[in-house]
Amino acid sequence: MVLLAVVALVLVGMYGGVSFSPGQATDGQTPTADVTGGLQRAAPLMGFPVVIPAGLPDTWNPSSFSFTDKAAATSDKPPALRAGWLTEQGRFITVIQSDGVVAEILAAEVGTVSPPTGTEQVGDAEWTVTSGRRDEVVWLRTVGDVTFLITGTASREDFRALAVAVDGAG
């Protein structure tokens, strides 16, 4: 049994499942995702016009992409595209696009939503500001049948940059 445990630990260590850093934590690899490609490939499955944010800062690392298409959607999980980045300051920011019911989108994507705390004017667009789970900031805007949420821990300036990228691409 001891021999099996030693072999298992060696294999896990060889394949990066465990790290040992006495004294302090070390930086790991930043996840990377093909956000633009994911949005392009998912667009035909969504049933609404998908916006691909344009003109984002080069220093942002595309770090996540997922979607729930119409076929898999439920009232608890409406159809939605989620694209996320890690900003230069190491903060996360995500844009979510959906043509579902706004209350269902908010519940599914950001959990408990607080009442609006204000608005942000970005160009000609007005975004409603609130907060979601983990005290993350949430900006909300509906254009036609599509609702956009911007959420994360990024700075106000980064939220504005993503809002401009979403509005400029639409």
Q: 32-77 pLDDT, tens per residue?
A: 889 999 999 999 999 899 999 999 999 999 999 999 988 888 878 8
* 21 vs 65: which has the higher pLDDT: 65
Q: How many other C-beta atoms can be found within 10 angstroms of the C-beta atom of residue 93?
A: 24
| pLDDT value for 37 | 94
Residue 16 has pLDDT above 60, yes or no: no
| pLDDT value for 25 | 46
| pLDDT value for 4 | 63
Cα angle vertex 114, ends 93, 102, to 5°? 70
E strand residue ranges, 76-154: 80-86, 92-98, 118-122, 125-131, 137-143, 146-152
Which spans in the chain are helix H? 2-14, 35-46, 102-110, 156-169
Question: Domains, the chain, ranges and CATH?
Answer: 35-169 (3.30.200.100)
User: pTM (2 decimals)?
Assistant: 0.80
Q: 94-146 pLDDT, tens per residue?
A: 999 999 999 899 999 988 777 899 999 999 999 999 988 877 899 999 999 99
CB 114 within 8 Å of CB 93: no
* 11 vs 51: which has the higher pLDDT: 51
